[in-house]
Amino acid sequence: MNKTNVLTMLSLCSAGILPAFSEQAPKQTRPNILYIMSDDHAYQAISAYGHGLNQTPNIDRLANEGALFTRGFVTNSLCAPSRSVLLTGKFNHLNGKIDNRGSFDWDQMNFPKLLQQNGYQTALIGKIHLSGNPQGFDYSNVLPGQGNYYNPDFIENGVEKQYQGYVTTLTTQFALDWLDKKRDKSKPFCLMLHEKAPHRNWQPEEKYLNLYEDHDFPVPDNYFDDYSGRGTAAHTQEMEIAKYMSWGPDLKFENDPYTGKPTKLMNNLKRFNEAQLKAWRAAYNPRNEAFMKNKPEGKDLAIWKYQRYMRDYLRCIKSVDDAVGEVLDYLKANGLDENTIVIYTSDQGFYLGEHGWFDKRFMYEESMRTPLLVRYPKEIKAGTVVSALVQNLDYAPTILDYAGVPKPAEMQGESFRGLASGKDVKNWREAIYYHYYEYPAEHRVKRHYGIRTNRFKLIHFYYDIDEWELYDLEKDPHEMHSVYNDPAYAEVQARLHKQLDGLREKYKDKPGLMETFPAKK
Ligand code: SGN
Ligand code: CA
């Protein structure tokens, strides 16, 4: 190749038109990527984050041997929108998937497509919750919609089939099977392993049905929050454990303890085989009978519900943690652990009783934040802690960066590769942008957008209200008291408004743009 040809090749590579690396390039220069994401896994329920609720020794391995991000956030705390941001590196107002309803445009650019074009083998296994056939994957085996915990259907490369077994175990098995037998081992891989658990309504694996039964979890200090100090949105949500958990699928009663009528739990249990049903009833029936004998009331009942929720939720996480251990062991046993970047995250955070809530959606901390742990021994020192503001918007650019593939101009996130390897990254962002749209809908969390800096959070609730909230996270980490219009914060407020306008402009989220996606009543 002469000099001009080399230069042409280089410029075509950097424009993303030609593969960034030729097929002959030494394989070890291109790392594998194992992206593990669970559904609704709160950072409070990962022991590496230090909340002391439960133990997740396998997920913790990623933090002990790699980096733990303490300020990882999503741009919209809901499943399908979060996944669309992950794939495209673009905010929802530009990738079109603003809420869980409506279709997703798979024809648009996504990072697995770019990896594929650059010689990677790609696979998507587990929950994706985006309608249509996944694009960008050499292999896909996904749950339809939300999927089921027991004996679920999977759609393998477009063909749907029911499998016997527990969803977390099956998803992990399919992932190991692809790694071991189905992929082209001459190419680097990007495997997206998406666990359904611990999504509502928290059906534990048979072997964990009794785990934590004798353990009482600490009740958050603001469990009996009365929402004073905040605006309409916090008062009108439908996320309170005490009020909105169903006796059937959520709290596991086959008959309503007050009316005696059959609950909807049986709909869920229809997929169970006899042995599974037997194990399930052996676990829940005696507990439910004990409840019937001594029905708690008022605050005691609210705490009882919290305990049942936490036990089931954390049981589901136990299986997820096992799964992470299995894949990490596989990488190690097969000599893949040094050259594979392992990422663990969730599609958003979750309330574990804070403000009395379950679910997510709000820009308040527990749902806007999400766990993020990254292991890559070649670049990331064991025990690294990153406190810079990062978002799921950054995942696609980061993965492309590690793979040596140029980031397309339309991607809005930034690579956090430098932060993970402990570099002092100059000019890293000082604020992040959030926008939630799914209203009116289940849980009735009003539409809102806002900005979060290291210390402050400014939120605008809109659509059928027009209210602002401002939090000083240093003085009020649990967001109990909005200081919007408090004269002591006048300067901060003005600055945040300006910064928010700047972010909306930077990310091209124009006032009124969301009206192009009319809310369904
Ligand atoms: C289901 C749940 C909701 C949850 C949404 C979205 N209800 O509808 O509690 O908010 O999913 O979750 S359930 O009774 O059917 O479980 S998401 O993670 O997919 O966005
Ligand atoms: Ca989710």
pLDDT tens for 280-296 read 999 999 999 999 999 99
Give the closest residue to 192 by CA, choosing from 396, 402, 37, 398: 37
Q: Is the CB of 78 under 6 A from ligand 1?
A: yes
pLDDT in the model for residue 28: 52
Q: Give the pLDDT mean for 488-496.
A: 98
pLDDT at 69 over 90: yes
Domain ranges of the chain: 32-203+314-423, 206-221+234-308, 436-515
User: Closest Cα to atom 8, ligand 1: which residue?
Assistant: 442
Q: Give the pLDDT mean for 201-212.
A: 98
Best of 86, 238, 437, 442 for a ligand 1 pocket test (most atoms within 8 Å of beta carbon) = 442
pLDDT at 246 over 60: yes
Best of 100, 244, 246, 309 for a ligand 1 pocket test (most atoms within 8 Å of beta carbon) = 100
pLDDT in the model for residue 470: 99
pLDDT in the model for residue 502: 98
431-436: strand order across its sheet: 431-436, 448-453, 456-461, 467-472
Helices 298-333 and 57-65, interaxial angle, to 10°?
A: 60
Q: Is the CB of 37 under 6 A from ligand 1?
A: no
Q: Which atom of ligand 1 is nearest to the CA of 200?
A: 16
User: Closest Cα to atom 20, ligand 1: which residue?
Assistant: 79
Q: Is the CB of 65 under 6 A from ligand 1?
A: no
| Ligand 2 centroid from CA 61, angstroms | 23
Kindly state the percentage of the chain with pLDDT values over 70: 93
Calculated CA dihedral for residues 294, 296, 302, 304, nearest 10 degrees: -30
Best of 199, 200, 348 for a ligand 1 pocket test (most atoms within 8 Å of beta carbon) = 200
Q: Which atom of ligand 1 is nearest to the CA of 201?
A: 16
User: Closest Cα to atom 17, ligand 1: which residue?
Assistant: 79
pLDDT at 66 over 50: yes
Q: Which atom of ligand 1 is nearest to the CA of 129?
A: 19
pLDDT in the model for residue 29: 79
User: Closest Cα to atom 2, ligand 1: which residue?
Assistant: 200
Quote the DSSP letter at residue 180: I
pLDDT in tens, 141-160: 999 999 999 999 999 999 99
What pLDDT band is residue 102 in, cutting at 50, 70 and 90?
A: confident
Q: Is the CB of 100 under 6 A from ligand 1?
A: yes
pLDDT in the model for residue 92: 97
Best of 39, 82, 199, 346 for a ligand 1 pocket test (most atoms within 8 Å of beta carbon) = 199
pLDDT mean across residues, the chain: 94
Q: Which atom of ligand 1 is nearest to the CA of 40?
A: 18
Lowest-pLDDT range of 9-13, 366-370, 414-418? 9-13
Q: Name the superfamily (CATH) of residues 32-203+314-423.
A: Alkaline Phosphatase, subunit A (3.40.720.10)
Fold of the CATH domain 436-515 = Arylsulfatase, C-terminal domain (3.30.1120)
Q: Which residues contact 505 (CB under 8 A, 6 or more apart)?
A: none
pLDDT in the model for residue 510: 83
pLDDT in tens, 302-344: 999 999 999 999 999 999 999 999 999 999 999 999 999 999 9
Q: Is the CB of 79 under 6 A from ligand 1?
A: yes
pLDDT in the model for residue 120: 98
Q: Give the pLDDT mean for 468-492.
A: 98
Best of 78, 82, 146 for a ligand 1 pocket test (most atoms within 8 Å of beta carbon) = 146
User: Closest Cα to atom 16, ligand 1: which residue?
Assistant: 200
Q: Is the CB of 337 under 6 A from ligand 1?
A: no
Q: Which atom of ligand 1 is nearest to the CA of 78?
A: 20
pLDDT in the model for residue 93: 96
pLDDT at 9 over 80: no
Lowest-pLDDT range of 17-26, 135-144, 184-193? 17-26
pLDDT at 184 over 50: yes
Separation CA 415–CA 402 (nearest Å): 9
Q: Give the pLDDT mean for 160-172.
A: 98
Separation CA 93–CA 251 (nearest Å): 36
CA 253 to chain centre: 28
pLDDT at 22 over 60: no
Phi, psi torsion values for 109, nearest 5 degrees:
-60, 140
One fold for both 32-203+314-423 and 436-515? no
What pLDDT band is residue 13 in, cutting at 50, 70 and 90?
A: very low
Q: Is the CB of 199 under 6 A from ligand 1?
A: yes
pLDDT in the model for residue 6: 38
pLDDT in the model for residue 511: 74
Q: Which atom of ligand 1 is nearest to the CA of 359?
A: 10
pLDDT at 269 over 90: yes
pLDDT at 521 over 90: no
The tally of CA atoms less than 13 A away on the side-chain side of residue 57 is 4
Kindly state the percentage of the chain with pLDDT values over 90: 92
| Ligand 2 centroid from CA 311, angstroms | 19
User: Closest Cα to atom 1, ligand 1: which residue?
Assistant: 200
Give the closest residue to 514 by CA, choosing from 78, 109, 84, 96: 96
pLDDT at 25 over 60: no
Q: Which atom of ligand 1 is nearest to the CA of 249?
A: 14
Q: Which atom of ligand 1 is nearest to the CA of 79?
A: 20
Q: Is the CB of 359 under 6 A from ligand 1?
A: yes
Q: Is the CB of 200 under 6 A from ligand 1?
A: yes
pTM of the model: 0.94
pLDDT at 180 over 70: yes
pLDDT at 133 over 90: yes
pLDDT in the model for residue 4: 39
Q: Which atom of ligand 1 is nearest to the CA of 360?
A: 10
Task: Show the beta-strand stretches assigned E in 143-268.
Answer: 153-156, 159-162, 189-194
